Structures are given as structure tokens and as C-alpha cells.
Amino acid sequence: MRRLAFAALAALPLAAAAQTPTLKLVSAFPENSFDVTRLLTWIENFNAEGKGLLELNFIGGPKAIPTFEVGKAVSTGVVDMAMSTGAFYTNVFPESDALKLTQMPVAEQRRNGAFDYIQKVWAEKGNMIYLARIVEYQPFHLYLNKPIDKPDLKGLKIRITPVYRDFFAALGATVMQTAPGEVYTALERGVVDGYGWPIGGIFDNNWQERTKFRVDPGFYDAEVSLILNQDAWKKLGARQRDLLLTQTRLLENRNDYWKIYAQQETERQAKVGIKVIKFEGAQARQYVDEAYEAGWAGIIKVSPQYGPKMRELFTVKR
């Protein structure tokens, strides 16, 4: 019996498994965030499909590589791949933050030329392959601990990333950048009066305990994507590339899920007593228009070369 078990074990392709080409992957979002849970399930499946051909090795979240360093790590090849958002790697190239401004689903971006243009800029300026957008339908919101009765943030200190900087600054806020991992402490210590974040995810790190109000409407669309170092891509063979494109696309094709998640998270916020400060009618329209105006002005200022074309490709004409 023991001999048999040993023989069976010896027959496993251990050496082959150890040699399977592997891409190192990190997340710029904290490990306990919902997107990461979803990513890990996907990786498990990827590795089952890719056995002997190509596998993914999840290294970790911001404890492995700090949130705002992840883009550099992918660009230079310290890691091969990452789940991140453009706002976290404006220190590689500033156009990265423009993806928050897309007004059509990524499926449409793949048809209207926007996706190809993103590929071009990401390769040229970031040494990156933009594989897939894996979060959509998640508008950003302003969350507050002090009430406001109009879109005026004078005297308020707000936690931001590049996503919100131009808009909240235009509304008069004093802004302070932190990684998601530092938001709770900033709220707890009263260092900030509020923060920007998408509709979903505030429960992942217990921010609901330190949040009184959400301001509606939301604005932009949160973008989280898979990016790959371009040199790593060049080293892959046809079958490996095919696996990578197929699997990342499968994940992207499930983005409709985020619509349900947005609804559930909205209800969950109401349940724990987070009150909604709601701008209506013309004031709401003005608020959202100002968000896009400030956002695009910021992008075009840092990228007169690509900004205007991105605006044209990312905007739905009304």
C-alpha cells in the first residue's frame, strides 16, 4: 500500500509543474478587498486551465508592493502583472488616470477604437499591455462626516487619489492623498472630513463605522484593470498569449455583475444608517458636468499629446 502510494506520487509531473512558466501578479488594492477575492478565484481557474502552459503566482497586495508603486513595478518588470487602477500609477505616465472618464462600457471601447488607443498609450508610455478592464458600473462618490447643502467643499479636508483631485479641488476642498489602506486611520483620527470612493467596497475595511453621509449623484466610472509588463508579453508564445487573452476576457465579460453589486452596496449603506445628501435636477447635472470638466482639464493639461483624443474616444455625445 505504502509503495503504491509512493509510486503514484512519483508519477505526478512534479518537475514539469515546477517548470511551468509563471507570471508574478500583485494587487494594488488591499488583500481583503472584494475585487481581490474575486481575482483569487479567477486565478485558481486560470491555473487549472493553464497547467503546464502558463500559470499565475499571486504575490500579494500593498504589503508586497505599496499601492502607488505597483505601476512602476509592472512597467520595469519587477513583477509581471497587476490588478490596479490608473489613478495609482500616474507616476509612470499621467494619462493612466483618464480611464475613470470613459462613458461607455469596455465592450463598446473595444469596438469604437478607444481600447486600441489605450493599448497604444499604455505600451508607448508605460511599457504595459492593457489586458482587460475588470471593474465597471461603479460610480465614484464623495463620502462625508460633515453635512453640506450645496456642492461646496470649502473648509473640508478630503481624502483623495488622483481620481478626485481636480474635481474636489475645484469644489474648494483641501485634499490629501492616501492609499486605500490608510483611509480608516485617517477617518478615525479625524485627519479628514471625508473621502472619495466608488459606490461599492466601503465595508471591506470597515469605513462604514466612520462614515455619516454619502453625496449623490456619483460621477465617473471606477476602473480596475489587469496590466502586464510588455517584455513579459513578448516572451510568451502563441498558446500562452491566447490563454492570457481568453481568460482575462472571460473575467471582463462578467462585468455586468458590478451593476448588482452597486445596488447591494447602496442598500447596505442605507441599512447601517449612512445618510444620503442628494443633489437634484440642475444642481445634480452641474455637479456631474463639473466633475468631467475638471477631470478632462486635468488630463489635457498633463497630456496635450493624448488627452484630447482620449476625450473624443471616451465621451458619449449627447
Q: Give me the residues that bind ligand 173 (CB under 6 A), please.
A: 85, 87, 161, 163, 180, 196-198, 222, 224
The CB-of-43 to ligand 173 minimum distance in angstroms stands at 19
Task: State the minimum distance, in angstroms, from the CB of residue 316 to ligand 173.
Answer: 20
Q: Which is nearer to ligand 173, 180 or 295 (CB)?
A: 180
Coil, helix or strand for 254?
A: coil
Q: Which is nearer to ligand 173, 65 or 87 (CB)?
A: 87
Closest CA to 74 of 59, 52, 55: 59
Residue with the CB atom nearest ligand 173 in the bound state: 161
Cβ-based nearer residue to ligand 173, 177 or 263 = 177
Contact 173, 137 (CB under 8 A): no
Nearer to ligand 173, 153 or 236 (CB): 153
Q: Supply 209's cell numbers.
A: 463605522
- Amino acid sitting at position 176: M
Task: Label residues 163-185 b or e (16+ Cβ within 10 Å = b).
Answer: bbbbbbbbbebebeebbbbbbbe
Q: How far apart are CA 124 and CA 244, in angstroms?
A: 21
Shortest gap between Cβ of 162 and ligand 173 (angstroms)? 7
Nearer to ligand 173, 98 or 222 (CB): 222
Q: How far is the CB of 180 from ligand 173 (least distance, A)?
A: 5
The counts of H helices and E strands in the chain are 13, 11
Question: Which three cell numbers mark 290?
Answer: 463639473
We find the least distance from the C-beta atom of residue 179 to ligand 173, in angstroms, to be 7
* Cis, peptide link before residue 217, omega less than 30° from 0: yes
